[in-house]
Structure formats: structure tokens, C-alpha cells
Chains A and B, each alone.
Chain A
Amino acid sequence: MIDVIDLKKSFGSLEVLKGINVTVNKGDIVVVIGPSGSGKSTFLRCLNCMEDPTSGSIIFNGVDIADMRVDINVHRRHMGMVFQHFNLFNNKTVIENIMLAPVYVRCQELKKRRRQRLFGKGGQEAAPQATKAQIKEQAYGEALALLKRIGLEDKADAYPSTLSGGQKQRVAIVRALAMNPDVILFDEPTSALDPEMVGEVLDLMKELAKEGMTMVIVTHEMGFAKEVANRVLFMDEGVILESAPPKEFFANPQHARAKEFLSKVL
């Protein structure tokens, strides 16, 4: 699904990623670990081009999205992203947070279809099937179902600042789900949480994993990596030193660096 080919990224003269090659298949749960500053976040942010790669390719569903000529917005809609600091839209209610992107995208499509019809392109089958109000209603229903799933339907009209950290992150996860993404990228989703809230977020992620969602997760939760991942990537100084199933990796790390890292965190 995602093929990363010789990905390099520099900030000015600082080379953060030094040639990364990774393949993420459908249904993979890839956990990325490594010391602070090794480039994990930068790697993850290159996957959906939040950072433009300096060189190399990111082939996502057959398209090189690192190419500046592709419309990155279209591809990002198929890649969810969950942030360490949640980044819920502060000016929107919980349900608006979830509905925003689906409504926006479907309304854009509606406009496009109307335009095509106006200019006689697209033929009969391109007749718009929904109005803006119908799109909103449908998205509202979907968003409410997602909120029910995480048990927060009573918070639908609350603003993010009234939620606890764990609630915020779970809303952020279903916000990503609302677009029916092919893959979700997580950057330390539990690092900003109070310890008692880590569990609820990890549980939701485990559920997604069981349902077959493809996920790339940067985390320091080694227990979670062992339990859920089907592959662990160990990054150090901008390269992937090891890529192995968690059992193998945790039982028998190959590189001295990985051994040293594990002895510190376990």
C-alpha cells in the first residue's frame, strides 16, 4: 500500500532521514521506535507529505505522492493522522470536528459534478444525487455513530477544551476514521496523556488493529508494540537499523544500538 523508496529529508544542512526504504502492506501494524531525535516523527510526517521529502519516493496506492505535481490533498484524505497533542479544531464542537472533512470533501465533489453537468461533460450518470443538506445529515449520522462507538455521544456538542486528554485523543482517532482512510498514521498518540488515560486510547487502537486497519505508529509503549504490531522498525540517526516481527526484535535485537535502546526502555 505504501512503498517508501530511498526517502531522504534535510532541514537546512541537517540531514534527518538518510535513505529509508520501507513497505507497508494492507493490514500491517507497523510500530516505529527509536531514541529521541532519531527522525521517527519526521519519517511519519513524510508519509503524508506534511514534510516534503528532500528526495526519494512515497508510492501510495500506486501514485508517487512525493511528486510536487500531484494534488496532495486528494491523497491525504485516504491517510488519517493522529497527533501527540490531539490537535482537535478548537473552534468546532466535537461532532463538527468529525464532520468537517467528510462534509467538505463531499460538497467539493458535488460542486465538481454540477460543474461538469453544466458544461455537458460526464453525461447522464453524473447527475448529482445529494444536496448539501443531505450530505450534512448523512455525515452527522456517521459522526454520531463514531461517537457512540467510543461512548462519547453525549459530548457531541461540547467543545474540545472541555474534554479530558484521553477523550480528546479518542475523538481525534474517530475524526481520522470518518474519512474511511486506507491507513492511519499515529505520532506518539499517548505521550501527552496522564497515565490513567493511556489505556483507553490504546484499547481503541487495538480494536482498529483487530478490524484490519492499516496503521503506522510511532510510540514508546513497548508493551503495545509487542502485543499488537506485526512489524517493529527500529530507527536511529535517520536510518532504519532493524525491521522485524516484535517477537524476534524484542527477544533478539541484532544491532548494538537496538540492544542499548531496549535495555533503557524495558
Chain B
Amino acid sequence: MGNFGNKWNKFVEIFVERNGYVKVVEGLQNTLLIAVFGMLIGILIGTLIATVRVIPKYKTLPRALNAVCTFYVGLFRGTPMVVQLLVFYYVLLPLMGVKMQGVRVAMFVFGLNSGAYISEIMRSGIQSVDAGQLEAGRAVGLGFAPAMIKIVIPQAVKNILPTLGNEFIALIKETSVVSFVGAADLYVAFNYIGSNSYEFMVPYLVMAAIYIVLVMFISLLVKIMERSLKKSDRRN
């Protein structure tokens, strides 16, 4: 274990004296930014897709929109996140002649990707809301969209909050691949420390610990949320 102590000292030296901690804070910040914005964009896209998917389909426009959504979901669920990041960064952006920072690219692609997953979650949420709710909204003269936004979707979201929490955890874990497009996340920070000390054991161990703490913290929040929702259900 003297060996391990040695390794630990090297880590601490770089972490503290050679500004390793700055990189780690920056990495943590980027990891969270990508997960949070990815989630927000995903909720937006997911809600839109889910709504399109529950519209009755006797007319042409809903049918066409539904086909587009099915394709979209199939595409993003059928390919790995890394591939989506690479294609976006190295193929689509150059083709469109756009330059974008890695972190932005990652937020965007994470949003598109989680949108596909969240649309399925949201769809089951919407289907869990009694059809009479939408009917009553339409009967007082609200259009389809206002009735969905004011009445159905809030109830759907309440029903799927725990599942959304798990999706957020999945997103946080998946951010560990964003260095493929040059975004400086936690992995990049600890890799920097490792490369500078030629010693990777401790940095990666600490990185793992940070991920575990993050995920446990969010799981805890989700549990608390779940419990308080259940309580309000009983009271109501």
C-alpha cells in the first residue's frame, strides 16, 4: 500500500498545485450542463413527438407527421450516442458550414437523442391520463393544443416524473463520451491529471466516485419526489 500512497500523493499534487481541480470543476460543470440542457431539449422534443403520436390518425397530415416521428425515434434509438455525436460533429456541421463548440454540440445531440427516448415515456404518460380529461377540455371550447398543454400534459408529467428522473441519470452517465467531439467533461479532466502524472489509477478511481455520488444524489431526489407525489395522491 506504500505504492498506493505514492500514487495518491502524485494525484493530490497535480490536483491542487497544478490546477487539476480547476479542470475537474470545469469538467463537472460541462457534464451537468450537457445533461441538464440535453434533458430540457429532450423534454421539449419528446412532448411534441408524443403529442403527434396520440393525435387521431384519419387525416393525412397527422399521419405524415406520425411517420416522420416514427422515423426520428427509430433513428435515434437505433444508433449509439457516440455515433450520433461523431456524425453530427464531423459530417453534418461541416456540410452545413457551421462551427460549434464541443459542449454545445453535445447538448444539442443529447437533446435530440433523449427526445427520442422521452417521447416514448411521455406517450405512456399521456395514455395514462383518462381520455375524459381531454374531452372535457375540448367541450369547454379549448382547441387540441391548449387542452393538451393546460390539462393533459401536466397530469402526464406528474405520472412519469420518476421515469424522467431515471432518464436524467442515464443522460449523466452517457456524458462520459462527449470528449469524442472535444467537450471537456469529467473524463477529460481526470485524463489530464492522469497524463501529467503518468498515473491513472487514482484519477479514474476518484472520477468513478464522483459519478457514483452524482447518481446517488439524483436517485435520492427522485425518490423524495416520488414519495411526496404519492402522499399528495392519497390526500387528494
Contacts and interface: CB of A to CB of B under 8 A. Distances in A.
Given A50-B138, A105-B141, A100 B236 contact: no
Contacts of A104: 141-142, 146, 150
B151 A91 contact: yes
A261 interface: no
B140 A87 contact: no
A159 interface: yes
A48 B151 contact: no
B135 interface: yes
B191 interface: no
Given A87-B132, A162-B236, A100 B141 contact: no
Size category of the binding interface on chain B = 20 to 34
Contacts of A101: 140-142
Interface string A8-49: 000000000000000000000000000000000000000010
Nearest to B140: A101
Contact of B140 (A77, A159, A161): A77
Nearest to A74: B141
B94 interface: no
Contacts of A92: 151
Contacts of B182: none
A81 interface: yes
Interface string B135-148: 11111111100100
B60 to A, nearest CB: 14
Contacts of A176: 140
Contact of A76 (B132, B140, B151, B154): B140
B29 interface: no
Given A91-B154, A101-B142, A85 B132 contact: yes
A83 interface: yes
Contacts of B142: 73, 101, 104
Interface in B10-40: none
A92 B146 CA distance: 15
Contacts of B158: 91
B135 A90 contact: no
B219 interface: no
Contacts of B155: 90-91
B122 to A, nearest CB: 16
Nearest to B233: A161
A140 interface: no
A83 B136 CA distance: 8
Given A50-B135, A83-B132, A89 B141 contact: no
Interface in B128-171: 130, 132-133, 135-143, 146, 150-151, 154-155, 158
Contacts of B136: 81, 83, 87-89
B153 to A, nearest CB: 9
A179 interface: yes
Contacts of B150: 100, 104
A231 interface: no
A55 to B, nearest CB: 15
A81 B150 CA distance: 19
A100 B135 contact: no
A175 B137 CA distance: 11
Interface in A117-146: none
A56 to B, nearest CB: 18
A200 to B, nearest CB: 21
A194 B141 CA distance: 30
Interface in A211-228: none
B149 to A, nearest CB: 11
A175 B150 CA distance: 16
A43 B29 CA distance: 60
B141 A83 contact: no
A214 B128 CA distance: 35
B133 A87 contact: yes
B146 A83 contact: no
A91 B136 CA distance: 13
A89 B236 contact: no
A226 B224 CA distance: 55
Interface of B: 130, 132-133, 135-143, 146, 150-151, 154-155, 158, 235-236
11 contacts: A50-B139, A73-B142, A80-B140, A81-B136, A87-B132, A91-B155, A100-B140, A100-B150, A101-B142, A159-B236, A161-B236
Given A83-B135, A100-B140, 13 more contacts: A48-B139, A50-B138, A83-B132, A83-B139, A87-B132, A87-B136, A89-B137, A91-B154, A91-B155, A104-B141, A104-B142, A104-B146, A105-B141
